[in-house]
Amino acid sequence: MASLTLRFAARTDTGLRRSSNQDSGYASARLIAIADGMGGAAAGDLASATTMNIVRTLDRESTDDDPRSALLQAVRDANRRLGEIASADPSVEGMGTTLEAMLWTGERFITAHIGDSRSYRLRDGELTQLSHDHTFVQSLVDEGKITAAEARVHPHRSLLLRVLLGRADNDPDIGELEGQAGDRYLLCSDGLTDMTDDATIAEALGLDTLEQAADRLVELALAGGGLDNVTVVIGELVETADEPAEPQLVGAAADGPRRRPAAAETTATIPPPPDVEELRYSYVPPPRMGWLRYGLVVGLALLVLVAAAVVLYRASQSQYFVGVSNDHVAIYRGVDADLPLIPLNSVAQETDIPLSALTSVNRDLVIDGIEARDRADADATVARLRATRAKPQPKPKPSPTPSASATTSTPTPINPSTP
């Protein structure tokens, strides 16, 4: 079987609203790529051109050993270069670029993706989106909060979550993809996908020649409003290449970065208008829990705690136990337990029975607390304690009903559970 190779076509257009083209595109028999630059004093063209010029060096190298690592390394090299440029020139700090690249190994594609530029495959007339946007609205779709249709018209649809900014953690998604003869692959910037829909893209991508398809796609973007730079790169897997065509480089990477004002010129008295593309990156995702929601949750938790304390307190106040107060036997209302800040018991009655008058066994029981079912039960327990005192205290009058057990020589522990 003859090995497959890519036929290709690349087109770009500044669009109807932008003053410069910050997209870059590249196409060859083994590599198709697109970068949509943005941000930082309108240095998006510098970001996309720098990235594209580094990634396309893959085309001159043998990547047979490990094409996956080779592509990842090329993207990392480009990203590091963006960081170096920004460090050397603060005026371009914040510039960034998306990147969509497909490297054909002869057997399969290695793909790199970061940002919201897209890759599509047209196979047997069916269009499939291969890339997954690194955007805020896509994250909402993934979480099931909005539909794909709502995402298309969402006011924050252009806000990006991942992009090459020259920072260490800006790694692309790297993937692999099988390909077959006749497949057409489209890489495009959001200047196309924001201006048209998948059905229209599928129809245009299926036109007879790649050149017709590329031209038609750019026309569609302009007809849809042309609000952004639009770049399309198409690759088709074919069994025989007619003849090796020259690679195509389009957009900022082909034009070269625009002249930038010198530092002295940038200190104008009138501040420049905000860069629309820069705004794409100024978005910070809202915290998962805003202050208002945080306050509500804390308030609700406190309410539950207070309610639980009230229930506990009320339940405790219907119970009694016999314990010690001022070294005397006492009847307590509540439960024999302590909670910080919440009193669970109070003295209902302090008796005239000194703790020292009890047998050692009963004294220990009282110190530990003797539970009672109700007030009458507590009174009965006190009566039994009174009757089983070890040494009757001298009293002005003898007890009116001396108990027989009071005179027994063996101290008898009372049984709190038996009245």
Question: Measuring CA to CA, which residue among 188, 199, 181 is closest to residue 128?
Answer: 199
**Whose Cβ is closer to Mg ion: residue 191's or residue 323's?**
191
Q: Is residue 275 within the footprint of Mg ion (CB under 5 A)?
A: no
Contact in structure between 38 and 282 (CB atoms under 8 Å): no
Q: Which is nearer to Mg ion, 163 or 358 (CB)?
A: 163
Taking contact as CB under 5 A, which single stretch among the options 60-68, 70-78, 220-228, 407-415 is the one that binds Mg ion?
220-228
13 forms part of the interface with Mg ion (CB under 5 A): no
d(CA 332, CA 321): 5
Q: Quick check: 278 binds Mg ion (CB under 5 A)? A: no
Closer by beta carbon to Mg ion, 190 or else 377: 190
Residue 38: closest CA among 117, 153, 138: 117
- Mark 315-349 as b/e (b = at least 16 C-beta within 10 Å): ebeebbbbbbbeebbbbbbbbbeeeeeeebbeeeb
Q: Are 374 and 357 in contact (CB under 8 A)?
A: no
133 binds Mg ion (CB under 5 A): no
**Toward Mg ion, which CB reaches closer, 5 or 193?**
193
Residue from 189, 193, 345, 359 in contact with Mg ion (CB under 5 A): 189
Rounded-to-integer distance, Cα 256 and Cα 93, Å: 19
| Closer residue to Mg ion in complex, CB, 53/189 | 189
Of the listed pieces 30-38, 278-286, 308-316, 317-325, which binds Mg ion according to CB under 5 A?
A: 30-38
Q: Is 12 in the site for Mg ion (CB under 5 A)?
A: no
Rounded to whole angstroms, the Cα distance separating 58 from 72 reads: 11
> Shortest gap between Cβ of 191 and Mg ion (angstroms)?
5
Q: Which regions of 105-229 does DSSP assign to beta strands (E)?
A: 108-114, 118-123, 126-129, 173-178, 184-188
Candidates 190, 236, 275, 278: give the one binding Mg ion (CB under 5 A).
190
Q: Binding of Mg ion at residue 231 (CB under 5 A)? A: no
**Closest approach of Cβ 307 to Mg ion, in Å?**
55
Query: For binding to Mg ion (CB under 5 A), which residues are involved?
Result: 36, 189-191, 228
